[in-house]
Amino acid sequence: MPPERVDFEGRIADVWSWLPVGEIEPDALAQIRNVGSLPCAVAVAVMPDCHKGYGMPIGTALATKDAVVPYAVGVDIGCGMIAFRTDLPAPSTDQVKDILDRIYATVPVGMPTKKDRTAGSHRERQNSTVLRRWREERGDSFPGAKEIRERADHQLGTLGSGNHFLEGESSESDDLWFMLHSGSRSFGKKICDEHHARALAWCSANGVKLPDRELAFLPTDSDEGRDYLVDMGYAMRFAEESRARMEVACREAIGEVLGPFEVTFRIETHHNFAAFETHDGTEVVVHRKGAVSTADRVQVTIPGSMQTGSYIGRGIPNARALDTCAHGAGRLLGRNAVRRAHVGVDIRAEMAVEGIVLVSPPHSDALDEAGRAYKDIEGVMRYQADLVEPLVRLRPLGVVKG
């Protein structure tokens, strides 16, 4: 379906939506209105997985002129996906369980405690190359840099919780695929929080009236704006370094259970970042929050939920969309709402009946990540048919969740 132009009274930026306006939740629609009325906003593109976030909805792209908005990138800077295809056929359920159990024993999941961080084993400090360079370059100008680096070093190569996952999948050709989703953990949040505070101070000092305090921005030609972009870049590289470590663990587990194999395809994408780009002949800063770049017809990953299919696609550049597509299915219900509506549901048993293995900590039933918590991935793909060409549809075999 074609996108809808979204008109608001007093709107400054052009706003186009690939989710029918009548299907946008009221809180997210209010956020879109605020984003579109920012004095630095040039254009806004709303993806079909759009849902409420901090300041700007997740599943939105924002183009600004000479300004960067920390919360339009978000707290999990550099969050993204890796997907790879092997030359192996899809394994049996028992083999999937064995692979995921080995990954679970190697990759820390959930939120580590102070005891975890001091107990050695696989939560010991990892001495990230990215963090060491960040501390050397930025330590003197970033409050608490030593402590931030130390905590992040313990989180390097860990999955965390929430919507992050390590998932085995199979294609319609019965190939074994693997997909993982993670970000910059506490490091990205500290960077976002610090620069958001600086953005608030700059806007206040310069008399900028904001439609929402969470949309405070910094000029890109200011020291503060340049500092944010530098720190954002470090957070993106840290997220890549962390995903790379988990990918190694996943490949090793597959090999231990199924024997030697080759990776015949691999893709990695970011979906929380900002970048200088040229659109309509003008240089702008494009913020993609829960959204993926389709420039140059790159291939993209679009996960559904742990109970539904996912897609590998090829991006279709689209000027109105700021060359952007959805990063996944997008939440339909908040975590608490899912739990209230499905009290007593044994999601692990439900998935077992579906032939999907769930591996997670004993205290976590992952109900808030069930398929019912997310939008229909098929609907998302239909709505963005002019943004993504589907290449491969994947079905879940099993997943590790925090």
Task: Enter the CATH code of domain 4-401.
Answer: 3.90.1860.10
* pLDDT value at 69 more than 90: yes
* pLDDT value at 365 more than 90: no
Rounding to the nearest 10 degrees, give the CA dihedral for residues 301, 307, 308, 310.
Answer: 10
Helices (H), 56-184: 70-73, 93-106, 114-118, 129-138, 145-155
Q: What is the DSSP letter of 173?
A: T
**Separation in Å, CA 155 to CA 109, 183, 336, 344:** 10, 10, 26, 32
All residues at 6 or more sequence positions from 376 whose CB lies less than 8 Å from its CB, including other chains: 308, 329
Rounding to the nearest 10 degrees, give the CA dihedral for residues 58, 60, 63, 68.
Answer: 0
Mean pLDDT, rounded, for 134-139: 95
Percent of the chain with pLDDT over 70: 97
Contact 149, 110 (CB under 8 A): no
**Separation in Å, CA 194 to CA 84, 136, 231, 276:** 35, 18, 10, 22
Q: What is the pLDDT of residue 130?
A: 97
| Type of residue found at 233 | G
- Annotated catalytic residue, options 181, 287, 327, 363: 327
Sign of the C-alpha dihedral computed for residues 290, 49, 295 and 8 taken in this order = negative
Mean pLDDT, rounded, for 128-151: 94
- pLDDT tens per residue, range 72-131: 999 999 999 999 999 999 999 999 999 999 999 999 997 655 554 443 444 678 889 999
Q: What is the DSSP letter of 262?
A: -
Can you give the pTM of this predicted structure?
0.95
Contact 75, 196 (CB under 8 A): no
**Separation in Å, CA 92 to CA 28, 88, 175, 398, 400:** 42, 12, 12, 11, 17
Q: What is the pLDDT of residue 111?
A: 64
Strands 310-315 and 299-302: antiparallel
All residues at 6 or more sequence positions from 51 whose CB lies less than 8 Å from its CB, including other chains: 25, 28, 57, 58, 59, 330, 331, 332
- pLDDT tens per residue, range 18-57: 999 999 999 999 999 999 999 999 999 999 999 999 999 9
Q: What is the pLDDT of residue 123?
A: 62
Q: What is the pLDDT of residue 2?
A: 85
Q: What is the pLDDT of residue 112?
A: 54
Q: What is the pLDDT of residue 9?
A: 83
Confirm whether 327 is a catalytic residue: yes
- Average model confidence (pLDDT) across the chain: 94
